[in-house]
A and B are shown apart, each in its own frame.
Chain A
Amino acid sequence: MRRLYPIVRDLHLYFGLFISPFVLVFACSVFFLVHAWLPRMTGARGASPRRTATGLRLPQNLDRLKNRQRVDAVRPVLDQLGVAGEIDSIRHLPREHRLVIAVSVPGRETTVDLDYGLRVATISPRDAGLAEAFVYLHKSPGPHLAQIRGNWSMTQVWRVLADAVVYVLLFLSLSGIYLWTVLRAERTVGLVLIVLGAMSFFGIVYALSR
């Protein structure tokens, strides 16, 4: 027990410090998501000038591919256009020979309107700013369009980091409980707070879901 205490305390400290900025990103974005409100913060300049690229080299059968295959086929085209990021969605308009590709990096959304008949693309970026970047990171990679999600290497890295934050938070809460139990003078107050927290948590959840 005496040996365990300093080890747990140090791990609690260093792991806690490492994930502090991640916790701030997730916690700040909660306010934006819960109130559907985005403050005007640095970097939000709205729509940037459009540009058009012609004479693109396109993979064959681009119009016939589906889901992940289409995403993988579109990636080299985006590289030609100098557009990097997670492909959020691809909308196919077969009659117009067009693919409308939504690409995101935290803080910027780009729409690429690709006419595969004419081999022309229009690129429309939108600078979204820091608040939207936090929201994007909070929701990334998320549960939607699982077949194509994580098609950019940075999204895969963020997925690992977001998972790691959860595991570290669980460790911090358990190690925090251990460190609190050592403080004998705080046991009663702590126990009361745990019970109050549990009552408010289960009370609200019961009322919401009954």
Chain B
Amino acid sequence: MPSAAKFTLWNRKLHYYLGLYFLFFLWLFAFTGLLLNHPAWTFAEFWPERKQSVFEWQIQPPRSGTDLDQARDLMRQLGLAGEIEWTATHSDPNTFDFRVTRPGHIFEIHTDFDKHRAIVQRIGLNAWGVLHILHTFTGVRLADTRNQRDWTLTTIWALAMDALAAGLILMVLSGIYMWYGLIRKRRLGAAALALGLLTCIWFAIGLKLLTSS
């Protein structure tokens, strides 16, 4: 088989193999994207439905180390797992507050080293809450240098997001290549592609140029 024909065949296979593998990932991010854009949809409410509980725990103050080391030590003692989020500056050496998050669960942890005590506020979310958080669960935020990804599962989820994004880009490129090979459909396809392209250019670049004063 000539190499061009081989490339065409594998390009086609790549298009639907990627689509089939990423099917569930795509459905999750597409559907939750819709939910995030419509916070008024009451059927998907999760924050008013949250379940809260507070428990107190005896702890051993962690040995000296970085804030991350101390938080991990405390989480081990409390039997918690998740992504650590810094909620307050650690100015008083006898108190240490932070948040642990994973989809469906939020733990607000307040510790008092003098009293060897940790107060943990647990917030449990329903399935809509889990879906919501999965869409944005990266462990990092733009313009926030303090919070870094620190849980292995967050890293795996972030890699899954990267893989989906790369897969979608490849599907777009392989789709365009396949369309270009269909000579009879080039004109209408070019119109559809140009319409989408011009709309995106309008929003990504045009609005800024148009509204510059």
Which residues on A are within 8 Å of B, measured CB to CB? 10, 13-28, 30-36, 38, 43, 81-85, 105-108, 127, 130, 133-135, 137, 141-144, 146, 154, 158-159, 161-163, 166, 169-170, 173, 176-177, 179-180, 183, 186, 189-190, 193-194, 196-198, 200-202, 204-205, 207-209
Contact = CB atoms under 8 A, between A and B. Distances in A.
A176 B21 CA distance: 12
Contacts of A20: 172, 175-176, 193, 196-197
A183 B144 CA distance: 48
Contact residues of A: prevailing secondary structure: helix
A170 B27 contact: yes
Interface string B39-65: 110000000000000000000000000
B139 to A, nearest CB: 9
Interface in B8-50: 13, 16-17, 19-28, 30-31, 33-34, 36-37, 39-40
B175 to A, nearest CB: 5
A14 B37 contact: no
B211 A84 contact: yes
Nearest to B31: A166
B30 A14 contact: no
A25 B196 contact: no
B134 to A, nearest CB: 7
B77 interface: no
B103 A106 contact: no
From A16, A33, A146, A176, residue with most partner B Cβ within 10 Å: A16
B102 interface: yes
Contacts, number: 206
A187 B212 CA distance: 53
Closest A-B pairs by Cβ, 7 of them: A30-B165, A82-B213, A36-B140, A201-B24, A84-B211, A21-B200, A197-B21
Contact residues of B: prevailing secondary structure: helix
Interface in B171-207: 171-172, 175-176, 179, 182, 185, 188-189, 192-193, 195-197, 199-201, 203-205, 207
16 contacts: A19-B196, A21-B197, A21-B200, A23-B169, A26-B33, A34-B162, A36-B144, A82-B213, A107-B205, A133-B204, A142-B37, A161-B203, A169-B26, A170-B31, A194-B21, A197-B22
Give the interface residue-count category, chain B. 35 or more
A137 B140 contact: no
A57 B160 CA distance: 52
Contact of B157 (A24, A106, A208): A208
Contacts of A35: 140, 158
B103 to A, nearest CB: 4
Given A106-B207, A205-B134, A17 B20 contact: no
From B27, B30, B176, B196, residue with most partner A Cβ within 10 Å: B196
Contacts of A21: 193, 196-197, 199-201
A159 B168 contact: no
Contacts of A30: 161-162, 164-165
B188 A14 contact: yes
B156 interface: yes
Nearest to A10: B185
A197 B204 contact: no
Nearest to B200: A21
Given A82-B213, A186-B13, 10 more contacts: A27-B166, A33-B138, A34-B138, A36-B142, A105-B211, A130-B204, A158-B203, A159-B37, A173-B23, A180-B16
